[in-house]
A and B are shown apart, each in its own frame.
Chain A
């Protein structure tokens, strides 16, 4: 299975481009500097607006509300921000279940689960001997599939772990390997994860984006050389039709890839 790059979206970010997500209409939301920018599938900028603090993550709920993860809070457009420096140290990923909101706290090294009103329910991923995810890269990323299974990157363990919303570890895929591309290399990979019709991950040093099936079999190295060699924590988002968006955090660009028909 092969992918080809079909687009480069540059936006108007000046110093930082950190996170991506797509909504159910196929719009692409990018978070960086102190703003959100929204692009259509052709890469045209449709909207932009400022955020209260520099964003580290962005997610769109089913009702269209946009949640933006920041240091100490989640800013909701439009609604009151959820401020909680203890549980939301640095929110580097946000996701949704049917009745809840999940926020990755990279400082606390755990995923926080809230109800839709912002009431804290439970932690995910902190019930282990190292008391959380191993994220020396400074970003904790996860994605939620259609069955409400949480796929969380645990780069220090070279795994993507599966959790229930209640925090039960259901299993994992992945292993260290510095040669075989099916494995994850370096000190801490994969750094980012997305779920669509497949499982997508990104790695740093050497940077690459890869696709796996849900049993952990490598399907494709989507791309590698196109990224700046110093890039890390490349946010990845899946769109309908198998399209994959990946952030190059050094070039401040979003690269779009699509599978090549065999």
Chain B
């Protein structure tokens, strides 16, 4: 083995260690390195998250077409963008009747995959006097996109998006979602692009 090759190997190991520390998704990407590509949802193309698309039903092709159980595409809440609203249109069915707490009486997610937790001390006299954290339970989410559609600007802040989970995706050469997606929103990225 030449010196150059050893340096390359050492560099790769260090980069891999750093990426592994960034989380499980990054670890899977490192394993898939060496010039491979991965599939990812382009939020600017996906009709569920694309700005300007209002008043249309959520597209669920990521659920129905993926060969992985439930789907390798799951909803992800990007917390830095989330408004932590009392009444989140991605969590509640905001057109359901209002209950005694002044909130919609029904949830939006058909699989009850979003958890709503108050942040800090709850004001017992006024539930609106609080922030709320919304967490996606990925074991339940099947990527149907209903919450993504309702979180989209201007109704929401666009914090919930669909993402291919690299640890679930089989990385098929011909992604079945990609073949059916009318928006061509499933894109192949290099590992470097995916790590952003």
A residues adjacent to B (C-beta < 8 A)? 128-130, 134, 136-137, 156-159, 175-179, 183, 185-188, 204-205, 229-232
Contact = CB atoms under 8 A, between A and B. Distances in A.
B2 interface: no
Contacts of B102: 175-176
Interface residues of B, number: 31
A186 B52 contact: no
B86 A230 contact: no
17 contacts: A129-B123, A130-B131, A136-B83, A157-B86, A157-B128, A176-B98, A179-B95, A179-B97, A179-B98, A185-B94, A186-B94, A204-B154, A205-B154, A205-B155, A230-B51, A230-B54, A230-B154
B93 to A, nearest CB: 8
B57 to A, nearest CB: 15
A157 B96 CA distance: 18
Nearest to B95: A178
Nearest to B122: A129
A188 B103 contact: no
Nearest to B131: A130
Contacts of A158: 87, 128
A158 B94 CA distance: 13
Nearest to B93: A178
Given A129-B120, A204-B154, A188 B83 contact: yes
A129 B121 contact: yes
A232 B153 CA distance: 9
Interface of B: 51-52, 54-55, 83-89, 94-98, 102-104, 120-121, 123, 128-131, 153-157
A232 B88 CA distance: 17
Contacts of B155: 186-187, 204-205
Contacts of B129: 128-130, 157
Nearest to B152: A205
A129 B83 contact: no
Contacts of B131: 130
Contacts of B88: 187
A157 B98 CA distance: 15
A129 B129 CA distance: 6
A232 to B, nearest CB: 4
Contacts of A157: 86, 128-129
B87 A176 contact: yes
Contacts of A231: 154
